[in-house]
Structure 1
Amino acid sequence: MSEVVSVNIGVHRVVPWTQSMGSTGIDKRPQPGRVRAVGVGLEADVIVDTKNHGGYDQAVYAYASEDADWWEQELDKQLWPGAFGENLTTRGVDCTGAVIGERWRVGSTVLEVSCPRIPCRTFAGFWDVPHLVKRFTEQGRPGAYLRIVDEGDLGAGDAVEITHRPGHGVTIGEVFRALTGERSLAARILEAPELPESIQHRAQRMLSLTQPS
């Protein structure tokens, strides 16, 4: 069964390991009961670096518990729901294989897969694991950002039902690989019109660099 294990909301923390902000909302903690998904995020979620996080295309971040279990074994480190800065910890959901533009019904909310999460130094600082960004990138288990299509509420135990999947088949994993160095995938990911405009522009620039002059 595909379901939500935990819904996690960020708290504001002042820390020395952010990229420049001095504080962060990466510390997401499980919430009891139902949580509203409205506008461009979950109610009460803290997002400090609004330049790189949050907004329409990054309203909700989902990470698979199966990938979290893999990281626990890899790092011999206990991880918890919200440890990846994710709002939704899922079970039975292939976040890496999710198709750009596919829609999930969760509770009374409809969410749309938009793009992968690209790791930053704040993430490495949160875990206190040197070279985590490099290792995270190499493993290609980025989790999926989602847009809020229909506002509603969601909670732990809710089923994740895929109600629509675009025929182009471009996945979160392919977009992540394209954005982290595999330029040969630029043309492929441009087949997904549901990609955020900023990523489409990046892919077009990458494509121009791979084409003979």
Structure 2
Amino acid sequence: MHLTSINRGDAERLGNRKSKTGIFKRPIDEGVVITQTGIPHDAVCNKKHHGGPDQALYLYGEADYDFWRRELGRALPPGTFGENLTISELRSDILAIGDLLQIGAVTLQVSAPRIPCSTFAERMAEPMWVQRFRAAERPGVYCRVLQGGPIAVGDEVSVVPYSGERVSIVQMFRDFYQKSLDDATLRRYLALPIAIRSRSDYEAQLAQRPTG
């Protein structure tokens, strides 16, 4: 498994929206130095839902891209889905929360699945895109940066499985759409190194439950 593209975006307008978005990522030729907040000079406009140390980088795999190329019948160059790193054999259905990805000296930790939003749908301009993306269960992964450093296209990528309980990224993706998760499931997630946005949501759900 290797790094096939490094993608970075500027703040741009999408359609008639007043606010700008950083979803338009384009491959860059040179290597970059990964930091705790991701790729330097990569635009993150909606900081309520995107970016931050726990979701510093979004990764998508060529295997999942190949599925969408067949499904949509069109070219999808690296960066189309707004990912920072495109990786040759990365598969959403195999990775789990807490898994480590090693790229040279850089260590990333899987923290969350990508949840499709209206910005993503408008960028793709495909009918029922959010529903189709959900049904396909190929969300890609967000990662936090445990160890930064230089990376370049062609670098080998290896996976170190999480040493604790394994919960697949696809399972977390499915559970996002459940109206309510039971206490045991919420505590199960809270014991994992999930992203802060999910952690805050699950903690709030537990806090609202009766304790008697």
What TM-score do the two structures reach when normalised by structure 1?
A: 0.88
1:140-171 deviation digits (Å, cap 9, x = unpaired): 11100000101101121111112342331111
8 Å Cα contact 1:28/1:82 also seen in 2: yes
The structural deviation recorded for 1:60 is 0.3
Q: Aligned partners of 1:186, 1:10: CA distance in 2, in Å?
A: 39
Q: Which moved more, 1:47-56 or 1:87-96?
A: 87-96
8 Å Cα contact 1:68/1:79 also seen in 2: yes
- Cα 1:102/1:17, change in 2 over 3 Å: farther
Q: Match of 1:202, as an amino acid? A: D
How many residues end up aligned between the 2 structures? 209
The root-mean-square deviation of aligned C-alpha atoms, in Å, is 2.3
Q: Aligned partners of 2:209, 2:128: CA distance in 1, in Å?
A: 29
Q: 1:31 maps to which residue?
A: 28
The structural deviation recorded for 1:71 is 0.8
1:60 matched to 2:85? The reply is no
1:87-166 aligned within 5 A: 87-166=84-163
1:177 matched to 2:137? The reply is no
8 Å Cα contact 1:183/1:210 also seen in 2: no
The structural deviation recorded for 1:56 is 0.8
Identity %: 33
Q: 2:194 maps to which residue?
A: 195
Q: Give ranges in structure 1 of 5+ residues lacking alignment.
A: none
Q: 1:4 maps to which residue?
A: 3
1:97-124 deviation digits (Å, cap 9, x = unpaired): 2111111111221111000111111111
- Cα 1:53/1:207, change in 2 over 3 Å: same
8 Å Cα contact 1:58/1:114 also seen in 2: yes
Q: Which moved more, 1:5-14 or 1:196-205?
A: 196-205
Q: Give ranges in structure 2 of 5+ residues lacking alignment.
A: none
The structural deviation recorded for 1:80 is 0.8
Q: Aligned partners of 2:48, 2:70: CA distance in 1, in Å?
A: 33
Q: Match of 1:126, as an amino acid? A: R
What TM-score do the two structures reach when normalised by structure 2?
A: 0.88
